[in-house]
Structure 1
């Protein structure tokens, strides 16, 4: 006499996607970070420098580690916008393009590409989201605000 296999209801939740499976090519799949607010390098520089200055002003332990120093040096070297007003203006320009993912907007604000072709090469997920003419206009507006 054969017995049919017993089917049990699933008692565990599905396994999350293993870390490291994120993609930022023609398909943008950032896993758990998909809809997380993303900063440009210039925004990150403003935030971290403001926090360090506040802690110094409050005479709190800034805990200036080598990692903090290296991060500030990196941001200083690669931030394209130095003035707070320009950083905010770039954020407003980028935020107006709701069809772009937050990650894509941050990449555009950090990389400061000169042409739409360059931007779509470096950020392949832009290809079907924004036309070349519209993207070029955005890049030109961003370029006007750039610290040289």
Structure 2
């Protein structure tokens, strides 16, 4: 983004690097970290071998704020939101916040106005 343009998430002006980035919802990160934790535990013969505090805190955070626990539900949410040609940023914000109405979704992510039928 040039220095003259100001970032504005409401208008989806968030910079090319963010528009092209793959974003993950909290529930997706939770599944990934759970799987990694299982791998680490399976590889370790030493029960005192623990994951880092950052890993543990990150896992706690995404578990706390994940609405979807079931891997199939997580896939369905991404698939459903992907049908509306949302930017990754928009998709993940909506997937994390779970608005109940289109109006609520637009209030949270103004850049989606016109992408959903009200």
TM-score, with structure 1 as normaliser: 0.67
TM-superposition CA deviations, 1:103-148 (whole Å, max 9, x none): 11111111110111111001111113x1343xxxxxxxxxxxxxxx
Any stretches of 5+ residues in structure 2 without a counterpart?
none
**Deviation at residue 28 of structure 1 after TM alignment:** 0.7
Higher RCO by CA contacts (8 Å cutoff, separation 6 or greater): 2
Q: Contact 2:84–2:116 at 8 Å: present in 1 too?
A: no
How far off is 1:29 after superposition?
Answer: 2.0
2:113 corresponds to which residue? 127
Q: What residue is the counterpart of 2:64 in the other structure?
A: 77
* SS state at 1:108 partner: helix
- Aligned partner of residue 87 in structure 1, secondary structure: helix
Instruction: Provide the aligned length of Structure 1 versus Structure 2.
Output: 113
Larger radius of gyration: 1
| Contact map agreement 2:25 2:92 (CA 8 A) in 1 | yes
Match of 1:51 in 2: 36
Shift of 1:102: 1.1
RMSD of aligned Cα (Å): 2.3
Partner-residue secondary structure (3-state), 2:59: helix
Query: Structure 1 or 2: larger helix share?
Result: 2
Show the 5 A alignment for 1:102-113.
102-113=88-99
Distance in 1 (alpha carbons) for counterparts of 2:110 and 2:81:
17
Q: How many Å separate the matches in 1 of 2:18 and 2:45? A: 32
